Chains A and B, each alone.
Chain A
Amino acid sequence: MESTEQTRSISGSMQSPRSPSSLPYLSVSVTDPVKLGNGVQAYISYRVITKTNLPEYQGPEKIVIRRYSDFVWLRDRLFEKYKGIFIPPLPEKSAVEKFRFSAEFIEMRRAALDIFVNRIALHPEVQQSEDLRTFLQADEETMDRFRFQETGIFKKPADLMQMFRDVQSKVSDAVLGKEKPVEETTAAYEKLKHYIYELENHLAEAQKHAYRLVKRHRELGQSLLDFGKAVKLLGACEGEPTGKAFSDLGTKSELLSIKLQKEAQQVLMNFEEPLKDYVRYVQSIKATIAERGTAFKQHCELAETTKLKEINLDKLMLTRSDKVGEAEIEYREIKAESEVATRRFERIVTRMEEEIVRFQEQKTEEMGVAFHQFAKGQARLANSIADAWRSLLPKLEASSAVQI
C-alpha cells in the first residue's frame, strides 16, 4: 500500500482526498489481488477503487473488479484515441507459469497496475477519456462485453477502412520498391528518434544488471545460510571456546542471510522494476513514433492525392467536361480527408512536444526516487551487516583471551 501512497503524492495535489472539495480530484487504487477460476483458466482479479469529486463520475467512491485484460483493453483504447500521447505502459502479460501466481509476482503486478491507472488519471488530457470512466465505473458484465468487442471481430467500419488503406499503401510501397517512402526529416525530430532508440538500449542494459544484482543478493543470502549451518556443525565438533564461537558465527550468518533475502526483494521492487518500467515507457514512445510516422505518411499521401485531384479538376474544368461535377465532389471529399489527416498529424506533433517535456520530468523524478531508495536500502543492509558482525567481536576477543 505504501507504494501507492507514494505514486499518488508524486503527482501533486490532485490526488489528495482530503483536499477541500472545491479542488477537483481523481484518485484510484488497485488492490486486493484475488485468484479466481481453476486450472489453465485461472486468473487474478483486482479491486479498483475510485475516489473523485468530478461531475462526470457516478459519485464520490466506486469499487469495481477488474482483471489484467481489462487494463489491456483500456490501454489499447487510449492508444488509439490519443495518438501522440505517451500512454503509460503495462506490466508484461506473460510470465513463466510457475511464477505467475507467486506472491511476489502478484504484488509486483498489482503495484505496476496501480501506477498505470494513476498515471492516466493524472494526465490532463487523457484523464477525461470516456473509456477511462468506463473502466473505472462499469459493472463487470458491461466491462466483459466491451472487452470482448475490442478483441472480437466487431470493428467499426471506419477502422476497417483505415486498416485497408494502411495495407494498400504498404503493398504499393512494397511493389514500388519503397520501403520507407515518406518520413519527417526535421533535425529535432531525427534527434528525438535517435535518442529514444539509443536510450532503450542503454536502459535495457542497466535493467539487466539490476536484475542480476537482485539475484546476487539472493545467492549471497543463500550462501551465508549454508555457511552458517556448516560452521555451526563444525562448532559442535570443536572444543571450547572455539565451539561456541563457531556457533555464534553461524547464527549471525543465518540472520544476515534473511536480511539479504529481504533486501533482494526491495531491490527488485524499488529499483529493478522502475528501470523495467522506464524501458517499457521508452518502448511505448517508440510505438507513438510509429504512429506519428503513419500519420505523417497519410498526411503526405492525402495531400498529394488532393493536389492530383485538384489538377485533374482544373483540367476537366478547362475542357468543360461533364465529369466536372463528379470530380469536384471527389476533390472536396479528398480535400476534407486530407485536412483531417493533416490535423491529426499536427495534433500528434503538438502532443508529443508536450509529452516529451512531461516524460523527461517524470522520469527524472521517478528515477530519483528509485536511486534514493536503492541507496537507502544498500546503506541499511550494509549497516546491519556491520552491526551483526561487530556484535560478535567482544565475545571473540574474550574467547581468545582464554587459555585454551
Chain B
Amino acid sequence: MMGSENDQEESKEKMESLFLREESDPLTRSDKSNSNSTYRSAMSTLSDSRHPSIVVTPADSDPLFAPPSYFNESRSKPNGGNRDSSSYLEPPSYADVIFSPFDDNSEINGSDDGGSRHIQSSDSLSRSPSSLSSDYFKITVSSPQKEQESTNSMIPGGTTYVTYQITTRTNLSEYGGSEFSVRRRFRDVVTLADRLAESYRGFCIPPRPDKSVVESQVMQKQEFVEQRRVALEKYLRRLASHPVIRNSDELKVFLQAQGKLPLATSTDVASRMLDGAVKLPKQLFSEASSSVEVVQPARGGRDFLRLFKELRQSVSNDWGGPKPAVVEEDKEFLEKKEKMYDLEQQIINASQQAESLVKAQQDMGETMGELGLAFIKLTKFENEEAVFNSQRARANDMKNLATSAVKASRFYRELNSQTVKHLDTLHDYLGLMMAVQGAFADRSSALLTVQTLLSEISSLEGRAEKLEAASLKVFGGDKSRIKKIEELKETIKVTEDSKNVAIREYEQIKENNWCEVERLDRERRADFLNMMKGFVVNQVGYAEKIANVWTKVAEDTSQYNRESS
C-alpha cells in the first residue's frame, strides 16, 4: 500500500498516517467537525482501510473549541444488558442474591441462603471494554515459563528469562482468526510500549507495567512472576480496550506474529530501515531526512544537534521574559492540564482512603471471626464441665452467638474481596492519568519542535538578509557570498518544509489530545459511576445478610430482652 510515489505531498501524508494511524475514510477537508469525525469514525469502524488521511486544521482553530458532535456515541456500559435495573429501585432484598460482577476469580459463597442465585451482571457492573457490544477482544496472559537465552558463544548456560503465553480471542476482522497464542517476554512488552508511544503521539496510551530493578533471584520467584503476569494482562487488556490502539499494527504484530517479535527495539533509523515489517515512506531515502525525524521528539533520538537546538529554544522560552516556559498560549489547554492534575491528586487521595477502608473492613471481619472462635471454645468448655442447667443454657446461648459471629465474619471477608475489586477502579485510573500526562507531554514537545524550527528559520533568514545586504555593497556581486546565500536559501526552504510538517504534527497531536481527553473523561465518569454502583450494591447486599444473621440471634435471645420501652 505504501507505494513508491515520489510526490512529496502524498508521501508526507502517508508518513503522517504511519504515525497517526487514522483508519477511516479519507478526508481532506479541514473544517472542525471532520477533525472530530476522523477520530470518531476510527472508533466505530472495523474496516481495515488504511487510507492516508490528512487532518489539516489551521493553527488558529483549535479543536478544543470544536462542537461536541463526538457525543453521539453513547456510553453503553451502564445500561447495556442491565438485567438487574429493576431490582435497584424497589426495596429489594439483596440478601438472596449473590453478586459476582467480575468474570474472573470471584468468590461465590451462597451456602447460607438456600435460594441464592448467582448473577453474572457482568454488563452493568464490569469494566470490560466498551463502545461496541458486538466486539469481542479478550487477551489472556498465562503459563509463565523459564527459558534460556542462547548465547552466541559455546559457553553453556546463558541468562534465563521468563516468557508468558499471550492468548487472544477475538472476532475482530483485522485479526483474521478467532484464537491464537504467542510467547513473549517482558522485553517484548517494553518494545511494544515504546513503539506505540512513538506512533501514537498525543494519545492517552495506557502505561505499561514497570520494569523492575531487582536481582535475578527475585525475578524468578513465583510471586514476582505472578504479579508480573497479572500486570501484563491488565496492560494488554487496556490496550485492547483503547478504540484506536486496539487496531494498531504494533499490537497486532505483538499478539500474532510467531517467534521473535518483529518490532524495532530502538528509534534508530538505520535499524528501522532494515526491519521489513515496518513500511517506510520513500522520504527516508532522500536527503531531506530531517523532516521525517521532525515528527519524533528530539529526546530519545540520536539527533543531538536538534536536541541542542530545542534545548536552547526551551531555555530562551524560559528566559523569554513575559512568555511562560513552553510558550503554550492556549488557555483552555492550560486550564485543562491543571484540572487534570487536580483530578489526579484527588484520585490518589481517594484510592489511599479506599485502601484504608478495605483494611478496616478486613480487620472487622477477622476480629469478628476470632471472637466467634473464642466463644466456641467457651461453649465447648461449659458443656464439658457443666454441673448445672444454667450452664448448659448459657453454653447454648454462647454457641448461637459464636456461630453467628463466624458467619458474619465470613460475610465481611466476602464483602471485602468484592469491595477491593470495585475500588480498584480508582487505582486503575491512576495509571490512566499518567497516560494523560504522557499525551500532554507529547503535545508540549511537539510544540517545542515547532518553536525551535520557527526560531531557526528566523535566524537563518536573518543571516541571509545580512549576507544579501553585504553583497549588494560589492559591485558586481560576490561569487562566494552569492553561493552562500543560495545555500542558505536552500536550507531555509528545507527547514520551512520541516516546520510545516512539525506544525501539522503538532496540530494532529493537539487534536488527538483533545479527543482522547474527551474520551477518557467520558469513560472515566462512566467507570466511576459503575464503580460506585458496584460498591454500593455490594455493601447493601452484605449488610442485609449480616443483619439477618444478627436478627436471628436477637430473636433467639429475646427472652433476655429487658428494655422497658
Q: Using CB atoms and an 8 Å cutoff, list the residues of chain A in contact with chain B.
A: 2, 5-6, 9-10, 191, 194-195, 198-199, 202-203, 205-206, 208-210, 212-213, 215-217, 219-220, 222-224, 226-227, 229-231, 233-234, 236-239, 241-242, 245-246, 249, 356-357, 360-361, 363-365, 367-369, 371-372, 374-376, 378-379, 382-383, 385-386, 389-390, 392-394, 396-397, 399-401, 403-404
Contact = CB atoms under 8 A, between A and B. Distances in A.
B546 A9 contact: no
B546 A213 contact: no
B370 interface: yes
23 contacts: A10-B562, A195-B385, A198-B385, A205-B374, A205-B377, A209-B370, A209-B371, A213-B367, A219-B360, A220-B360, A222-B360, A230-B354, A238-B525, A368-B394, A372-B554, A382-B550, A385-B539, A386-B94, A393-B533, A394-B89, A396-B88, A397-B85, A404-B525
Contact of B381 (A199, A226, A237, A374): A199
A365 B559 CA distance: 10
A37 B522 CA distance: 65
B359 interface: yes
B349 A394 contact: no
B347 A234 contact: yes
B231 interface: no
Which of B88, B339, B535 is most buried by chain A, counting CB atoms within 10 A of its CB?
A: B88
B291 to A, nearest CB: 40
B137 to A, nearest CB: 23
A132 B71 CA distance: 83
A239 B535 CA distance: 20
Q: Binding site of A, secondary structure by majority: helix, strand, loop or mixed?
A: helix
B71 A396 contact: no
B156 interface: no
Nearest to B340: A237
Contacts of B558: 372
A400 B78 contact: yes
A364 B368 contact: no
Contacts of B539: 385-386, 389
A375 B561 CA distance: 11
A237 B522 contact: no
Contact of A369 (B71, B79, B375, B560): B560
A9 B562 contact: yes
Interface string B67-91: 0000100110011000001001101
B212 interface: no
A321 to B, nearest CB: 54
Interface in B493-545: 521-522, 524-526, 528-530, 532-533, 535-537, 539-540, 543-544
B271 interface: no
Contacts of B219: none
B533 A396 contact: yes
Given A233-B349, A379-B547, A396-B536, A364 B390 contact: yes
B352 interface: yes
A188 to B, nearest CB: 8
B404 A403 contact: no
A364 to B, nearest CB: 4
Contacts of B543: 382-383, 385-386, 389
B374 A202 contact: yes
A227 B350 CA distance: 7
A205 B404 CA distance: 18
A227 B353 contact: yes
A202 B371 CA distance: 11
B390 A231 contact: no
B361 interface: yes
Q: Closest 10 interchain pairs by CB?
A: A400-B78, A382-B547, A386-B543, A368-B560, A375-B553, A379-B550, A372-B557, A223-B360, A209-B371, A242-B525
A224 B357 contact: yes
Nearest to B391: A360
B275 interface: no
Given A234-B347, A364-B390, A364-B391, 16 more contacts: A10-B562, A205-B377, A209-B374, A216-B360, A216-B367, A224-B357, A227-B350, A234-B349, A237-B342, A360-B390, A364-B397, A365-B560, A367-B397, A369-B562, A372-B553, A383-B543
A227 B356 contact: yes
A367 B398 CA distance: 8
B533 A400 contact: yes
A284 to B, nearest CB: 18
A382 B526 CA distance: 29
Contacts of B360: 216, 219-220, 222-224
Nearest to A370: B560
A401 B79 contact: yes
Interface residues of B, number: 80
Nearest to B553: A375
B363 interface: yes
A233 B368 CA distance: 32
Contacts of B400: 371
Contacts of A400: 78-79, 526, 529-530, 533
Contact of A404 (B75, B94, B353, B391): B75
Nearest to A360: B390
B334 interface: no
Contacts of A206: 371, 374-375, 378
Contact of B88 (A236, A246, A363, A397): A397
Contact of A368 (B532, B547, B557): B557
B401 interface: yes
Nearest to B564: A5
Given A191-B385, A198-B381, A233-B349, A371 B560 contact: yes
Interface string B315-358: 00000000000000000000000010011001101101110110
A246 B550 contact: no
B97 interface: no
Which of A199, A237, A245 is most buried by chain B, counting CB atoms within 10 A of its CB?
A: A237
B388 interface: yes
Interface in B395-412: 397-398, 400-401, 404, 408
A215 to B, nearest CB: 8
A238 B356 contact: no
B273 interface: no
B147 to A, nearest CB: 44
Given A205-B374, A230-B353, A383-B547, A371 B529 contact: no
B280 interface: no
A226 B540 CA distance: 20
B553 A371 contact: yes
A101 B376 CA distance: 36
B390 A361 contact: yes
A367 B547 contact: no
A395 B557 CA distance: 38
A372 B560 contact: yes
B364 interface: yes
A5 B390 CA distance: 24
B459 interface: no
Contacts of B387: 191, 356, 360
A210 B371 contact: yes
A29 B88 CA distance: 51
Contacts of A241: 525, 529
A6 B551 CA distance: 21
A390 B558 CA distance: 28
A49 B390 CA distance: 33
B257 interface: no
B393 interface: yes
Contacts of A227: 350, 353-354, 356-357
A238 B346 CA distance: 10
A236 B346 CA distance: 9
Nearest to A212: B367
A230 B536 contact: no
Contacts of B536: 249, 389-390, 392-393, 396
B378 A238 contact: no
B361 A220 contact: yes
B562 A375 contact: no
Given A372-B561, A394-B88, A386 B401 contact: no
Nearest to B404: A375
